[in-house]
């Protein structure tokens, strides 16, 4: 077997490196020196905020926190409104002063005592909580001047995570974002210069993130300065630059790193597990053969008035006597292969890839055990049908299997023969999904079934090299979002079910996966607007209940309501795509565990690491 091409370091940062090829750098717009002037906000700040809001650009506002001690309610409300609009409000020191220490002019956080620096940091955080009801997550010193005492003093603020422009070699537990002096708004300070900015940006645009700094108060007296600033922002927008904030960027970087120990611990157990292909489990109720996947409808039960007759439906209540062996086996395949692949990518130990390949060959290559590439006999109903199109949703657990194949191939862990065979199986399967009457019926079924059909087709088409189908899935995303989401961001088809919370999240998981896989720089599904808004609106609709189920305004699910939500991959992908610190924080607070078979069945994406790259070929 070839040595893997992806090292741990490379893979952990592959998301950013690949994005830098497809998309321009992320930019943090660092705006300095907000304080109240006669209890009001300087007009330079208002004109900048109005412009950025009109351009839908996210920025940051550095508050000189002494201004919070005796500010007006209007001043405090102005800051709160900006935070509500998505601006990050950050800690720009307490006094922005130049104290004299032993006859020498110093800076607030350079050359002053540890006690003074700690007091200023804590007082500013206290004022933010008291006057603004927020916690600073980012610190940037006045004049960008700090020393070793600053690093020590910042230890007193565990809630503060990001340090902008750390001008000292002293170690710190904060996430440090450094500047590149050649990329800035102002040359010199207070004077925007478009040509110098453009030259610096084009030189360093492949960097994962660039911080550009400005002082809005200085752009009023000379209007050409503000016009130059606007020109810089519009130039960045023309290049499809993503604007983010320090704390959001920190969350992205900290959350996308894999939980190495948990992945390796589970993968080590899976090294001992033998394959369990469909041929291992037979059911005499199946109309197919030993190589055919078989399952039975979840919510169908014997009719108490006609025990030997056709089954009847009880929505939301799973019949425990159904044949589930093939479903469980496919779920195990997904869990094992995804974990083994993740372990291989972060450890470079061939045994993990080799064991994943054992399972892949048994399920898709070996003529004695391989599954036929169709779902003709999925979700059968006793006395009614031998299979149904909606049974296609059972195959969502092949999604991370297909993704694993792509990543193993990209890492050099699959032979040409094995990869060709696996790619061929999924090519046949996606052709069946997109042409067989069952596939067409599932595509047009509506609700989460149609969304998961499109998500499956997109993932399998990407593996099979079917760019035509991938393009059709982009169009399908737009149709589905337009017809499924209402003005509030909810999915009425899911909300009327007996498990509205679970089904809403389930549908969002599929939409998010589809947007992640099928988006291109020219056709970004995350930002595409339906008549009722973008996918972001659906996540905003769900967000309050993600951290507080009592905020859910609909009836609770008839089962498993207390197990939700979980730390789903779709939520992480949405947080990353929208650079939304609230979604990312929510994801970090949730637990990944799945306490019941039902919840495990509903959420097929178990290894976020597999989805942190845009392209593999």
- Cα end-to-end span (Å), the chain: 20
User: What CATH code is carried by the domain that includes residue 514?
Assistant: 1.50.10.100
90 lies in the same domain as 229: yes
Residue 574 belongs to domain spanning = 456-617
Q: List C-alpha distances in Å: 350 to 215, 288, 409, 416, 579.
A: 53, 37, 13, 17, 35
Q: How far apart are the C-alpha atoms of 382 and 308, rounded to whole Å?
A: 10
Q: Of 198, 223, 255, which one is at a domain's C-terminal end?
A: 255
Beta bridge partners of 89: 61
The 10s digit of each residue's pLDDT in 41-56 is: 999 999 999 999 999 9
Q: Of 255, 282, 301, which one is at a domain's C-terminal end?
A: 255
Give a yes or no: residue 479 inside a domain: yes
Give a yes or no: residue 44 inside a domain: yes
Give a yes or no: residue 319 inside a domain: yes
Q: How far apart are the C-alpha atoms of 513 and 451, rounded to whole Å?
A: 10
Q: Which residue ranges in the chain fall short of pLDDT 70?
A: 1-24, 256-258, 613-617
249 lies in the same domain as 262: no
Closest listed residue to residue 541, CA positions, set 580, 584, 579, 487: 487
* 305-312: Cβ within 8 A, 24+ apart: 309/383, 310/381, 310/382, 310/383, 310/384, 311/381, 311/382, 311/383, 311/384
The count of structural domains within the chain is 3
321 lies in the same domain as 429: yes
Give a yes or no: residue 320 inside a domain: yes
Closest listed residue to residue 429, CA positions, set 463, 404, 405, 474: 463
415 lies in the same domain as 505: no
> In the prediction, which pLDDT does 261 show?
85
Identify the residue whose tokens are 């992945």. Answer: 263
118 lies in the same domain as 245: yes
The 10s digit of each residue's pLDDT in 524-582 is: 999 999 999 999 999 999 999 999 999 999 999 999 999 999 999 999 999 999 888 89
Q: Of 410, 445, 480, which one is at a domain's C-terminal end?
A: 445
Residue 308 burial class via C-beta count within 10 angstroms: exposed 0-12, middle 13-18, buried 19 and up = exposed
97 lies in the same domain as 235: yes
Where does 386-534 have alpha helices with state H?
399-410, 416-435, 437-443, 447-464, 467-484, 492-495, 500-518
> In the prediction, which pLDDT does 596 show?
87
Give a yes or no: residue 3 inside a domain: no
Q: Is the peptide bond before 188 cis (omega within 30 degrees of 0)?
A: yes
441 lies in the same domain as 579: no
Helix 500-518 / helix 535-547 crossing angle, nearest 10 deg:
140
Give a yes or no: residue 355 inside a domain: yes
82 lies in the same domain as 64: yes
Identify the residue whose tokens are 């996918």. Answer: 535
User: What CATH code is carried by the domain that includes residue 250?
Assistant: 3.20.20.370
> In the prediction, which pLDDT does 617 show?
33
Q: List C-alpha distances in Å: 347 to 12, 249, 341.
A: 12, 26, 10
The distance between the two most distant Cα atoms of the chain, rounded to a whole number of Å, is: 98
146 lies in the same domain as 191: yes
532 lies in the same domain as 615: yes
> In the prediction, which pLDDT does 257 show?
65
> In the prediction, which pLDDT does 315 show?
82
Give a yes or no: residue 317 inside a domain: yes
434 lies in the same domain as 582: no
Q: How far apart are the C-alpha atoms of 105 and 240, rounded to whole Å?
A: 44
Which pTM was predicted? Answer: 0.80
Q: How far apart are the C-alpha atoms of 30 and 237, rounded to whole Å?
A: 16
Lookup: tokens for 550: 């009592």
Q: How far apart are the C-alpha atoms of 491 and 483, rounded to whole Å?
A: 9
208 lies in the same domain as 307: no
* 38-44: Cβ within 8 A, 24+ apart: 39/71, 39/72, 39/74, 39/75, 40/72, 40/74, 40/75, 41/75, 41/78, 42/216, 42/217, 42/220, 43/220, 44/216, 44/217, 44/218, 44/219, 44/220, 44/226
The 10s digit of each residue's pLDDT in 343-387 is: 999 999 999 999 999 999 999 999 999 999 999 999 999 999 999
Q: How far apart are the C-alpha atoms of 129 and 124, rounded to whole Å?
A: 9
Give a yes or no: residue 245 inside a domain: yes
């Amino acid at each position: 077997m070839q040595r893997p091409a992806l090292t741990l370091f490379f893979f952990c940062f592959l998301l950013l490196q690949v994005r830098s090829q497809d998309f321009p750098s992320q930019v943090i717009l660092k705006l300095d020196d907000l304080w109240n002037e006669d209890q009001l906000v300087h007009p330079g700040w208002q004109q900048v905020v109005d412009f950025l809001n009109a351009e839908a650009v996210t920025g940051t506002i550095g508050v000189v926190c002494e201004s919070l001690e005796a500010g007006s309610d209007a001043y405090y409300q102005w800051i709160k409104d900006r935070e509500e609009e998505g601006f990050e409000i950050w800690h720009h020191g307490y006094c922005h002063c130049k104290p004299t220490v032993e006859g020498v002019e110093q800076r607030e956080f350079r050359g002053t005592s540890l006690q003074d620096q700690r007091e200023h940091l804590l007082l500013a955080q206290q004022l933010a909580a008291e006057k603004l009801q927020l916690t600073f997550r980012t610190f940037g010193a006045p004049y960008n001047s700090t020393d070793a005492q600053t690093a020590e003093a910042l230890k007193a603020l565990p809630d503060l995570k990001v340090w902008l422009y750390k001008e000292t070699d002293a170690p710190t537990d904060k996430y440090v974002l450094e500047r590149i002096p050649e990329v800035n708004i102002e040359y010199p300070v207070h004077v925007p210069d478009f040509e110098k900015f453009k030259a610096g940006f084009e030189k360093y645009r492949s960097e994962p993130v660039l911080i550009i700094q400005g002082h809005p108060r200085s752009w009023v007296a000379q209007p050409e300065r503000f016009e130059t600033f606007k020109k810089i922002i519009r130039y960045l927008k023309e290049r499809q630059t993503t604007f983010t904030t320090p704390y959001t960027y920190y969350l992205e970087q900290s959350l996308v790193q894999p939980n190495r120990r948990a992945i390796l611990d589970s993968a080590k157990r899976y090294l001992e597990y033998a394959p369990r292909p469909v041929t291992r489990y037979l059911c005499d109720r199946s109309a197919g053969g030993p190589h055919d996947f078989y399952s039975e409808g979840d919510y169908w039960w014997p009719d108490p008035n006609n025990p030997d007759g056709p089954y009847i439906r009880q929505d939301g209540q799973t019949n425990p006597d159904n044949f589930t062996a093939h479903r469980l086996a496919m779920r195990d395949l997904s869990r094992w292969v995804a974990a083994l692949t993740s372990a291989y990518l972060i450890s470079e130990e061939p045994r993990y890839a080799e064991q994943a390949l054992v399972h892949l060959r048994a399920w898709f290559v070996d003529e004695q055990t391989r599954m036929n590439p169709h779902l003709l006999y999925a979700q059968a109903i006793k006395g009614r049908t031998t299979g149904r199109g909606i049974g296609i949703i059972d195959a969502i657990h092949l999604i991370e299997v297909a993704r694993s194949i792509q990543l193993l191939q990209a890492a050099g862990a699959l032979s040409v023969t094995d990869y060709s065979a696996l790619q061929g199986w999924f090519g046949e399967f996606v052709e069946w999904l997109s042409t067989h009457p069952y596939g067409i019926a599932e595509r047009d079924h509506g609700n989460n079934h149609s969304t998961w059909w499109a998500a499956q087709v997109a993932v399998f088409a990407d593996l099979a090299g079917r760019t035509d189908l991938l393009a059709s899935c982009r169009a399908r995303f737009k149709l589905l979002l337009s017809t499924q989401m209402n003005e509030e961001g909810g999915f009425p088809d899911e909300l009327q079910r007996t498990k509205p919370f679970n089904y809403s999240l389930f549908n969002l998981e599929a939409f998010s996966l589809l947007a992640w896989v099928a988006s291109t720089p020219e056709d970004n599904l995350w930002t595409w607007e339906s008549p009722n808004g973008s996918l972001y609106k659906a996540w905003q609709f769900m967000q309050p209940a993600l951290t507080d189920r009592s905020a859910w305004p609909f009836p609770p699910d008839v089962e498993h309501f207390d197990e939700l939500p979980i730390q789903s991959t779709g939520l992480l992908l949405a947080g990353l795509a929208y650079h939304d610190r609230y979604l990312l924080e929510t994801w970090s607070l949730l637990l990944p565990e799945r306490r019941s078979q039902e919840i495990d069945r509903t959420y097929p994406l178990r290894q976020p690491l597999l989805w942190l790259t845009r392209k593999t070929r």
